[in-house]
Chains A and B, each alone.
Chain A
Amino acid sequence: MKKTIISAIAAIAFSSAALADYPTKDIQGIIQWGAGGSTDTVMRAITPHVEKELGKSIILSNRTGGVGVIATRFVESRRADGYTLLLGAENPQMYKVLGLADIDYNDMIPVNIIARGTPIFVAHNDAPFNTMTEFVEYAKANPGKVRTGSTGAGGLTSIVLAMLDSQVKVDLTTIPYDGDGPALTALQGGTIDIMPAVLGAAIEHIRAGRLKAIGLVDVEANDLLPGVAPIVDEIPGFSSYLPWGPFFGVFVKNGTPDSVVETLTNAYSKGAEHPDFVDLINGRGFTMMNISGDEARQFLDSYRSVSSWLVHDAGFSKNSPEEFGIPRPNN
């Protein structure tokens, strides 16, 4: 009896696969960032669950460099048949205003926006401030003395600092790093004093008491950071940008057939629901999104408009968002 059920399910599975005719071969998954980073970890964790749904392997490879431009361009250069997936982070949404590329996620089809991160301000343990208010006061009293890390123009740190800059004027010394990993290491070593980082990257160091969280860049408190007030309590002006945060998503080239996108969307949304994966996302301090279609497009639009205008107003954009028809966020 058991056998017949299994074979029946298998038959149904096979016939539906034959109908959709996708996937008939292995799929290439191009990871935008290096092995061992957040994007890499999230993508490698979800892939086995998605493979189970698709019935084919997804061959992962890291194509790093140029803040993700290399991977994005590579996927764009492939055929729109759903056999090459872009597994990326938020960076492409800034390519146009930063003049890095003429494509972004709005020119692609979102298969799934898997999860989003919450930015926080973390500081070196010996830094003479414990809250955002104290930090701003100290930085104002000691211009240029407070050193902060940056992960490059358009990265999370630069955008959160631009948010801060739009509210209060403080003079910080900025030292660039290759990513939040090396920057957080420098923060522990005292090379820098404070920096905005994604909660997931800093949480273990905070739990161990090696770094202190002084501000939560969100509208509400977070269970992982008891006692840290949301930034809108201290600097209310932030509310016009929030909630905002980096994200991880899966994308295919424009022109990919609808049925293929549907198969992929279903597989990814089921894969993202797997309890092991949900645990990983929650444990690392990310917020599960698992959205696709119009909902995903709306999210991408909103991210792009908030970030592009922030960067433009802060004066480090190469092109005006207007050139690309990116509307100002409505406060």
Chain B
Amino acid sequence: MFEALQYFSISWVSPELMFLTALGTFLGIYVGAIPGLSVTMAVSILISFTFSWDVNSALCLMVGVYMGGVYGGSRTAILLNIPGAPSAIATALDGYPLAQQGKAGEAIGLSTVMSVIGGFVGIIVLAVAAPHVSDFALTFQPRDYLLLGLLGILLVGSLSGGNMAKGLFAGAFGILIGTVGLDPLTAEERFTYGVVELWSGINPIAVMIGLFGITEALSQLHHMDKVAVKQRIDRLIPKWGDVKKYLPLSLRSSAIGVGVGSLPGVGGDIAALMAYDQAKRSTKNPEVEFGKGAKEGLVAPESANNAAVGGAYIPMLTLGIPGDAVTAVFIGALFIHGLNPGPMLMIERPEMFWFTVGNLTLANIFVLIFGLTGIRLFSKIVECPKGILIPVIFLLSIVGAYSINNSIADVWWMLGFGMLGYFFKMYGVPVGPIILGVILSRLIDDNWRRAIMSERGDLSNFFINMISSPLSATLLLAIILILLSQTPIWKKVFKPKNT
């Protein structure tokens, strides 16, 4: 125990390591905020950059970038409606309306505090229960991932803004976009029309930047005459009462974040969206409607995506299996520094585990400090005259799309989807479900086929196993309950009496 504490505090007692963690977190927030500049990319670049450094120093910088980056994605989501990363998509849904009502500062403040709470929940679970959680995560079979994906698809209902038919159309369209490219299971071409550039598919981040940033900028052109709302900057740090009020929701969302984050191959983006859905279903009487600036809609995804960081570290540190793309790069970094990440790491080098836990904690504290400073300045961005703001959004979107892969093709995709999103919006088709479809497409497609292949195409076996496995049965039950709760009969029977 004493040893664990000693390892935990390595980065706390060394000024150099502390500075590097702070620097990493600071850089991470800005890398995360710029759409297209991904945390994965930033950490990969840092591997080469910190190659000759001591392993602890290198890790401090990279852990800081990771923690800060996941948080930073919310900045542009709230201010400009361009999520800095897919894990901030759900944040934009209610964060941006808040900023439009002059509450950008309050939204950033709240998202910071909730991110930090989520971050801590993730770290605590990592520190206390890592081996158990990773063993549980391994029991997820393809059919469970399929059910998880279907659970995610139910979110279409939350994102449709009232018109289910149009929402379903948008979601299906997103799934279609997600299937473009070489089929990941058989390497057959799908919807590529013989164009090699389409083999690796359409980049989801390009679609996301287009549908959010460009679509919003184009629709803003209709309101050029409107003067931007004056931002209220008196209440930046959320009141204790507010934090207390949202704490149960934040903890529930964090639990979703850690759980989903710890599953190999599913990351913070899906966790944040699922947490948003959960918030919408469980909040009975929101002060403001979801999608129009509900604070619950900000609390849930922000808690979940930062909790997913701790979650992603769970299989990585205990088994050497990456929980997401960033932890995959961390595994590479450990190899390069002469360590052998794997199930033996916890036994042979226990200090690495506790050092990482301590370092994540430190980075999370820096997120709080850096997150709450400079809000005033940032919320002023929204007050910019539209004549300046709209070109800035365009520029940021183009730079962001280009920097995903240094490819001009992504810029064209981004612009194309931006235009499409604009017309969709004009005709009342919600764009949220499109990006949801793009993100979930692979998860559902791959795992449905894997599940059915492992039963050799036998549907009856597939369903028998789904019911006989406790995990699958639980997930299936959750889906059925959510679907049933939407039906008129259910609403009549279980109508809350007090409203």
Chain A residues in contact with chain B, CB under 8 A?
34-37, 40-41, 44-45, 47-48, 60-67, 69-70, 73, 98, 100, 144, 147, 152-154, 173-178, 181-182, 184-186, 188-192, 203-205, 207-208, 210, 276, 279-280, 283-284
Contacts and interface: CB of A to CB of B under 8 A. Distances in A.
Given A147-B454, A176-B450, A204-B320, A36 B325 contact: yes
Given A65-B201, A67-B182, A37 B328 contact: yes
A36 B343 contact: no
B329 A35 contact: yes
B142 A191 contact: yes
Q: Say which size band chain B's interface belongs to.
A: 35 or more
Nearest to A210: B343
Interface of B: 40-41, 43-44, 47-48, 51-52, 138-142, 181-182, 184-187, 196-197, 199-201, 264-265, 319-322, 325, 327-332, 335-336, 338, 340-345, 347, 405-406, 446, 449-450, 453-454, 456
15 contacts: A36-B325, A60-B44, A67-B187, A98-B187, A100-B187, A152-B187, A176-B184, A176-B449, A178-B184, A178-B446, A185-B138, A188-B138, A192-B454, A203-B342, A280-B338
Given A36-B322, A48-B51, A173-B454, A70 B329 contact: no
Contact of B328 (A36, A66, A152, A203): A36
Given A66-B199, A144-B456, A189-B140, 20 more contacts: A40-B44, A65-B181, A66-B187, A152-B185, A173-B456, A176-B453, A185-B321, A188-B138, A189-B139, A189-B141, A191-B141, A191-B450, A204-B340, A204-B344, A204-B345, A205-B320, A207-B342, A210-B343, A283-B338, A283-B340
A279 B340 CA distance: 11
Contacts of B200: 64-66, 70
B320 A44 contact: no
A36 B331 contact: yes
Contact of B332 (A35, A152, A173, A176): A35
Contact of A70 (B141, B142, B199, B322): B199
Nearest to A57: B48
A182 B182 CA distance: 18
A45 B416 CA distance: 39
A176 B446 CA distance: 9
B56 to A, nearest CB: 17
B80 to A, nearest CB: 27
Contact of A153 (B186, B264, B321, B336): B186
B336 A208 contact: no
Most buried by A among B48, B138, B265, B453: B48
B44 A204 contact: no
Contact of B182 (A36, A66, A173, A184): A66
B329 A36 contact: yes
Contacts of A152: 184-187
Nearest to A71: B200
Nearest to B138: A189
Contact of B196 (A44, A69, A98, A276): A69
B40 A210 contact: no
Most buried by B among A35, A100, A205: A35
A49 to B, nearest CB: 9
A274 B321 CA distance: 28
Given A35-B328, A205-B320, A48 B187 contact: no
Nearest to A284: B335
Contacts of A48: 48, 51-52
Given A176-B185, A176-B186, A181 B196 contact: no
Contacts of A208: 342-344, 347
A98 B129 CA distance: 46
B225 to A, nearest CB: 44
B432 to A, nearest CB: 26
A122 B44 CA distance: 30
A178 B446 CA distance: 9
Contacts of B181: 65-66
A44 B338 contact: no
B453 A174 contact: yes
B332 A40 contact: yes
A153 B454 CA distance: 18
A62 B450 CA distance: 27
A41 B335 CA distance: 7
Contact of B405 (A63, A66, A280): A63
B196 A70 contact: yes
Nearest to B455: A173
B37 to A, nearest CB: 13
Contacts of B328: 34-37, 181
A153 B199 contact: no
Contact of A45 (B40, B336, B347, B449): B336
Contacts of A69: 196, 199
Given A66-B200, A182-B264, A189-B140, A35 B40 contact: yes
Sorted nearest first, the 8 A-B pairs with minimum C-beta distance are: A65-B200, A204-B342, A36-B328, A208-B343, A66-B199, A176-B185, A189-B138, A41-B332
A204 B341 contact: yes
A69 B201 CA distance: 13
Contact of A279 (B184, B325, B338): B338
A199 to B, nearest CB: 13
A15 B459 CA distance: 72
Contacts of B196: 66, 69-70, 73
Contacts of A45: 335-336
A47 B332 CA distance: 14
Residue of A47, A182, A204 with most chain B CB atoms under a 10 A cut-off: A204
Contacts of A153: 186-187
B336 A41 contact: yes
B332 A36 contact: yes
B400 to A, nearest CB: 16
Given A152-B187, A185-B264, A44 B336 contact: yes
A39 B39 CA distance: 20
B450 A175 contact: yes
A44 B47 contact: yes
Nearest to B192: A66
Interface centre among A62, A98, A154, A176 (most CB of B within 10 A): A176
Nearest to B184: A178
A280 B186 contact: no
B140 to A, nearest CB: 7
